[in-house]
Chain A
Amino acid sequence: MKPSWLARCWRAMTSPSRHFSLGFLTLGGFVAGIVFWGGFNTAVEATNTEKFCIGCHEMRDNVFEELRATIHYNNRSGVRATCPDCHVPHEWVAKMGRKMQASKEVWGHLFGTIDTREKFLDKRLELAAHEWARLKANDSLECRNCHGFQFMDYTRQSPRARHSHSTALASGAATCIDCHKGIAHQLPDMRGVAGWE
């Protein structure tokens, strides 16, 4: 009986090379590795842009539109934050973890979980709570990627900012997100959220 296609493939993969030199296979594998790895990273980076994020109307018409009025989009010096600057960890392993979590957002898009403003507002507290929890757990890492505590000049801050930053933030009792909720997007219904009752 003639062996099946799958069986022949398996035999070819498990047997030593008969026609290609070890050097060719090693080099070929190396080159293919670079191409695939580069392609993978390029594809991931392509999903890590604002343009990609606002490719879906859920993001473009809700959170992005709200961002446009805030200081993280529009300010005197023109330095700005894009979606992934705050919402995707910059470190590789954590970034891949977040990307895998984000596959659920694809599901949400396909099944229209928040495809109207009303649905989005209804779900907003849950979505915001995820981000607050994430930033609380990593000590507001994504804030600190730009806003380094070590480099804050209290003398350039207003008295009440100076007071809070030199006490609660400096001692580690509070992290950025504890006070700075709703600075880049509008707030969900805050009834029951600590500090907002």
Chain B
Amino acid sequence: MRPGPAALCGWLALVLLTLPVSVAGQPLATLRHGVPLDEEGPAPPIPPVENTDRKRERSYPMQAPTIPHKIDNYQVDRYGHKCMTCHARGRVEASQAPMISVTHFMDRDGNFLATLSPRRYFCNQCHVPQHEVSLPVQNRFQDAEQLIRRRLDAQGR
């Protein structure tokens, strides 16, 4: 005998009702590691800073490059600018560090200044070091080239 529509609805309701229960019985893997929402878990240890001095890939051409070295206690204030002792135009021959890009010499009207523009003074607004950690969530970002490749592949070209 084939089950009637009423029996089907009954089964469906049963499945839907038991589903949340089975999920709750098996705790979800979250970044909170089971710490209740109204509580604060123990702080994770501070990871070491990547100090390889090797350039990292950029995800898009305008991306500010990340800093591939430690910058502990680097002083950047009105008295001195530690970063610029290597990355300034006149210092890169001795340091072999990349020079700050030409955009950093421009004021907001597009005029080129002789040196680092004041609005670019604080490097850490855009450039940051990276820590030696594994990603808690995988990044599925695709850059422009990958997107174009995918489109061409889909078109069979």
A183, B52: Cβ atoms closer than 8 Å: no
Q: B78 to chain A: which residues have CB within 8 Å?
A: 189
**Is B80 interfacial (CB 8 A cutoff)?**
yes
B73, A190: Cβ atoms closer than 8 Å: no
B53, A159: Cβ atoms closer than 8 Å: yes
A183, B80: Cβ atoms closer than 8 Å: no
Sample of 15 more A-B contacts, CB < 8 Å, known A159-B53, A190-B81: A71-B73, A158-B69, A159-B52, A160-B69, A160-B97, A182-B75, A182-B80, A186-B75, A187-B80, A189-B79, A189-B80, A195-B91, A196-B80, A196-B85, A197-B90
Chain A residues 133 to 176 lying within 8 A of chain B, measured CB to CB, are 158-160, 163
- A-side interface size class: 10 to 19
**Is A188 interfacial (CB 8 A cutoff)?**
yes
**Given known A163-B96, A190-B79, contact A69–B53 (CB-CB < 8 A):** no
**Is B72 interfacial (CB 8 A cutoff)?**
yes
Nearest A residue (CB) for B54: A159
Chain A 99-134 near chain B by CB (<8 Å), digits 1 or 0: 000000000000000000000000000000000000
Q: A47 to chain B: which residues have CB within 8 Å?
A: none
Measured in the bound complex, the distance between the Cα atoms of B53 and A71 in whole Å is 21
**CB-based closest 4 A-B pairs:** A190-B80, A187-B80, A159-B53, A158-B51
